[in-house]
Amino acid sequence: MFSSVHPSWSQAGCSDGSIRLHQLSSAFPLLQWDSSTDSHAVTGLQWSPTRPAVFLVQDDTSNIYIWDLLQSDLGPVAKQQLSPNRLVAMAAVGEPEKAGGSFLALVLARASGSIDVQHLKRQWAAPERDERNRLRLLLQEALWQEGKPHK
């Protein structure tokens, strides 16, 4: 999944539960989080359309994890188990052009064929002050660590 902040940044979610943030010009990840889903396979990964520092992760046990890199670059800031009907896909939707009145919702597809829409808290929907630049600085710091993965 490519970042809306910088087109040369891409994320990958792996079957071992790790998540990697790459810069396309380097073989080494800028940031890497091992076992971020308690070693459950990552089955969905998406940057927030309204907050540049927020991304969402789905694992194969129907958990959704919310990451806010400005709040913590060590792990997710929230986790929600979605049961009993197994989650098969998620999509984050929002209105990025509405800076003050942004909303962020998850469209969730279930194994039964049902679709749910869940609105997320405003703290994960409305961009923080100077968020894009703050995120760029955070990721540039990772670059300066000469390709060493952050764990």
In a 3-state reduction of DSSP, which class is residue 124? Answer: helix
**145 token code pair:** 């660590």
Question: Is residue 51 pLDDT above 50, yes or no?
Answer: yes
The pTM assigned to this predicted structure is: 0.85
Single-letter residue type at 141: E
Q: How many CA atoms lie within 13 A of 120 on its CB side?
A: 32
Tell me the percentage of the chain whose pLDDT exceeds 90.
Answer: 48
Residue 1: pLDDT band (50, 70, 90) is low
Whether the CA torsion 150, 137, 101, 47 is positive or negative: it is negative
What gap in Å lies between CA 35 and CA 99, rounded to an integer? 33
Residue 150: pLDDT band (50, 70, 90) is very low
Residue 96 pLDDT: 75
Question: Is residue 15 pLDDT above 80, yes or no?
Answer: yes
Partner residues linked to 22 by β-bridges: 10, 29
